[in-house]
Amino acid sequence: MSKRPAESLIETSTKKARANPELEALCNTLESLRETADKHHEEARIAAIDTASTAEEEWTNACVEKDKLEELYAQQTQDTKAAVAYFDTFKESDTVKMLKKADSEKVVDKLVEDNEKITDTLTKLDNLCGRMDFQMKKTSTELDEKIKHCEELKSCLDAAEKRVETITNLNV
């Protein structure tokens, strides 16, 4: 068999036929933009989740503080009521009335001393009741503010969770 000369071989191109260069450039640009958009979508979704997580943590912490204030306020209310009731009961007792009468008549020195001691202690108890009442009112104000703050944080949390849902559903 005779060999054919190399020039006579039909050249077959292994290269892909070039599409329209403008079309190819636009397709490449669109593919790049799609990838960038997907990346931006994921970044926005992650940022929204992070924001929602932070909002949830703040809300949870505020609720824990609110619960502690509620317990403190309940205890202070109970203690204040008990102190005032004890003060009122003791102040109106027959013994105190007798000691006041003994003090005004100065008949028995020991009773005068007892009256002074009881009067001093009642004054201290009255002052304590006033401080306890003041502290209870202060705690009540703090509690009201904390409740309002928790409601605001819950609203922010709800909005953040809705934003996560909205961003996530953009991909559907």
pLDDT tens readout for residues 56-72? 999 999 999 999 999 99
Percent of the chain exceeding pLDDT 90 equals 69
Both tokens of 39, joined, read 């990346």
The pLDDT > 70 percentage for the chain reads 89
When pLDDT is cut at 50, 70 and 90, the band that residue 15 belongs to is low
| Residues 139 and 76 sit within 8 Å (Cβ to Cβ) | yes
At 108 the pLDDT is 79
Q: List C-alpha distances in Å: 123 to 39, 104, 117, 129.
A: 73, 18, 10, 10
Task: Note the pLDDT tens digit of each residue in 85-104.
Answer: 999 999 889 988 888 888 88
pLDDT digits (tens, 9 = 90+) for 19-51: 788 899 999 999 999 999 999 999 999 999 999
Residue ranges of domains in the chain, CATH in brackets: 22-169 (1.10.287)
List the single range of 12-21, 109-118, 133-142 with lowest mean pLDDT.
Answer: 12-21
Q: Summarize pLDDT for 127-153 with one digit per residue, the tens.
A: 999 999 999 999 999 999 999 999 999
* pTM tops 0.85, yes or no: no
pLDDT of residue 120: 94
Contacts from 131-137 at CB under 8 Å and sequence distance 24+? Answer: 132/76, 132/79, 132/80, 132/83, 133/80, 133/84, 135/76, 136/73, 136/76, 136/77, 136/80
| Closest C-alpha among 159, 7, 124, 146 to residue 73 | 146
Structure tokens at 109: 């020195």
Name the residue with higher pLDDT: 149 or 114. 149
Look up residue 134 and give its amino acid. Answer: F
Query: Mean pLDDT, to the nearest integer, of 63-83?
Result: 97
Contact (Cβ atoms closer than 8 angstroms) between residue 41 and residue 170:
yes
